[in-house]
Amino acid sequence: MFRSHTCGALRAGDAGSEVTLAGWVNRRRDHGPLIFIDLRDRYGMTQVVFDAAASAQAHALAGDVRSEFVLQIRGTVRPRPADAINPELATGAIEVLASAVEVLNSAKTTPLYIAKEGGEEESLRLKYRYLDLRRERMQRNLILRHRVIKFMRDFLDQHGFLEIETPILIKSTPEGARDYLVPSRVHPGEFYALPQSPQQLKQLLMVAGYDRYFQIARCFRDEDLRADRQPEFTQLDMELSFVDQEDVITLIEQLFSELCRSVVPQKHLVTPFPRLTYAEAMARYGSDKPDLRYGLELVDLSTALAASEFNVFKAALAQGGQVKGLRAPGCGSYSRKQLDELTELAKAGGAKGLAWAALPNAGGELRSSFAKFLSAARWMPSSASWAVSLGIF
């Protein structure tokens, strides 16, 4: 047996036990007669002490190892001195005094620094993916993904769902993006398509009487890469029969609420989930997938500007459009330079320009890119100075 315990398992109650550990050298500290090695696996880290007085052979071998060597270590668990306890480490109350060590695999100097994030380019991380995956953050990500998917499977099983795999090689069907095509060896000139989602397949299951289906499905879409798009991804795919909209919404809300409480209880969760109609989302945020943490909601200024002679607004309103803006409290004192920078930012985002109005406290001067078309009395706020940027929709 290569190990009796993992590197994250030992605690103060194990003091005095003879153990065998196996893992990677995360860090080595040489203090002459004493050498300390932090031994790492995916379960955690344990400090191992090589004392020349206790085992000269183990100490000599430890002097030659470097980061990312793979070691098998036998030794005795002992409590750390009170002033050496590491409260940030699960095994921080103990250490292992090594009696024997074997190098299972040596290692060259790695192009990535494993013990902490090195800030290197992503291309380097992808080239040495097997090294990048040793890092704590990457391990946490994969463990989190595992726990999320396991929770989904258990939850849906308890609610009467069947997990059913659907084919990957299928006939091409009309979808939102292009299909990836796979040529057929036995039918020259013909192709299979990889599914963008199991849409028709899961509908067949509903027709066949499997009224609650789910699948952790791989999906493939041949489309240009964007921040929220990639060629292949995994999604929770579900289909239900004999339900209405409220049944589906309630089930999904319960799934994600319980998932967060179980898997990431430290995260703040607001329940019940807020609900917006499409019209309300577009009116308040200008998007059908708004980030509700964003506080600068759109304000409808059509009524306030109904009598404006400013051609940009007048033309939009005459055609049945609206004039909306973002109210930015406390920004009424922005300099012209700052406002010009905001204008350039708006242009970089695709706008033709930026109309703005800075409304002061009572008695102050109204400033605006279209001030001559405004009545100060109509716009005077009741409290602190503020600025509003106007956009036309």
Helix axes 245-263, 136-158, angle to 10 degrees: 140
Q: Which residues in the chain belong to E strands, given as ranges? A: 18-31, 34-41, 44-51, 70-79, 94-105, 162-163, 181-183, 191-193, 212-220, 232-240, 298-300, 323-329, 355-359, 367-368, 386-392
Dihedral sign, CA of 314, 316, 321, 326? negative
- The predicted structure's pLDDT at residue 203: 92
For residue 383, the model assigns a pLDDT of 40
pLDDT tens per residue, range 218-267: 999 998 888 778 899 999 999 999 999 999 999 999 999 999 999 999 99
Domains, the chain, ordered by start: 12-105 (2.40.50.140), 139-263 (3.30.930.10), 298-392 (3.30.1360.30)
Please tell me the predicted confidence (pLDDT) of residue 393: 30
Q: Count Cβ atoms below 10 Å from residue 89 Cβ, excluding itself.
A: 15
Residue 73's pLDDT band (boundaries 50, 70, 90)?
Answer: very high
Q: How far apart are CA 23 and CA 2, in angstroms?
A: 10
pLDDT score at 151: 98
Contact call for residues 182 and 168 (beta carbons, < 8 A): no
Burial of 319 (0-12, 13-18, 19+ CB in 10 A): exposed
User: In the structure, what pLDDT confidence band is assigned to residue 110 with cuts at 50, 70 and 90?
Assistant: very high
* For residue 382, pLDDT beyond 50: no
Walk across the sheet containing 232-240 and list its strands.
162-163, 212-220, 232-240
Average pLDDT along the chain: 89
- What whole-number distance in Å separates Cα of residue 132 and Cα of residue 387? 47
Residue 171 has pLDDT above 70, yes or no: yes
Q: What is the four-CA torsion angle of 61, 66, 70, 72, rounded to 10 degrees?
A: 30
Looking up tokens 């659907």 gives: 166
pTM of the shown model: 0.80
Categorize the per-residue pLDDT at 361 as very low, low, confident or very high, splitting at 50, 70 and 90. low
Burial of 169 (0-12, 13-18, 19+ CB in 10 A): exposed
Other beta carbons within 10 Å of 242: 8
d(CA 168, CA 176): 17
DSSP 3-state assignment of 350?
A: coil
- Name the residue with tokens 């309103």: 317
Say which amino acid occupies 338.
Q
pLDDT interval class at 370 (50, 70, 90): confident
pLDDT reported for residue 381: 45
Percent of the chain surpassing pLDDT 90? 63
Give the per-residue pLDDT at 32. 95
What number of other Cβ atoms are within 10 A of residue 3's Cβ?
A: 16
Q: Quickly tell me which residue has 């191992």 as its tokens.
A: 48
Largest CA distance in the chain: 93
Residue 279: pLDDT band by 50, 70, 90 thresholds?
very high
**Could you report the per-residue pLDDT of 44-59, keeping only the tens digit for each?**
999 999 999 999 999 9
Query: Taking 90 as the threshold, does the pLDDT of residue 102 lie above it?
Result: yes
pLDDT confidence bin for 364, thresholds 50/70/90: low
Average pLDDT over residues 271-281: 92
pLDDT in tens, 289-320: 998 887 888 888 888 777 777 777 878 788 88
